[in-house]
Amino acid sequence: MNFNKKTVKDIEIAGKKVLLRCDFNVPRDKKTNEITDDQRIRAALPTIKYLLDNGAAVIACSHLGRPKGEWKPELSLGPVGKRLSELLGKPVKMSLDVIGDSARELSAGLKPGEIMLLENLRYHSEEEKNDPDFAKKLASMADVFVSDAFGTVHRAHASTAGVARYLPAVGGFLVARELEIIGAALENPKRPFVAVLGGAKVSDKIGVINNLLNKADTILIGGGMSYTFIKAMGHEVGTSLLEEDKVGLAAEIIKKAGDCGVELVLPSDTKVGDRFDPDCNTQIVNSREIPAGWMGMDIGPATRQIYSDIIKKAGTVIWNGPVGVFEFPAFANGTRAIAQAMAQCPGTTIIGGGDSAAAVREFGVADKMTHVSTGGGASLEFIEGKVLPGVACLLDK
Active site residues: 40, 201, 354, 377
DSSP string, 282-331: EEEEETT-PPTT-EEEEE-HHHHHHHHHHHHT-SEEEEES-SS-TTSGGG
> How many residues can be counted in the chain?
397
First to last CA, the chain: 13
How far lies 366's CA from each of 175, 197, 357, 358, in Å?
19, 18, 8, 9
| 3-class state of residue 65 by DSSP | coil
Dihedral through CA 226, CA 232, CA 233, CA 235, nearest 10? 80
Measured in degrees and rounded to the nearest 5, phi and psi for residue 229 equal: -70, -40
Q: Is 21:149 a contact under the CB 8 Å cutoff? A: yes
- Nearest CA-CA partner of 307 in 294, 285, 322: 322
Segment (H or E) for 60? strand 57-61
Q: Is 290:240 a contact under the CB 8 Å cutoff? A: yes
Torsion-angle region of 140 (φ positive above 0: left; ψ -120 to 50: alpha; else: beta) = alpha
- R_g (Cα) of the chain, nearest Å: 23
- Nearest CA-CA partner of 83 in 134, 44, 130, 31: 44
Q: Is 6:397 a contact under the CB 8 Å cutoff? A: yes
Task: State the Cα–Cα distance between residues 259 and 5, nearest whole angstrom.
Answer: 35
Task: State the Cα–Cα distance between residues 272 and 260, nearest whole angstrom.
Answer: 32
Q: Is 268:302 a contact under the CB 8 Å cutoff? A: yes
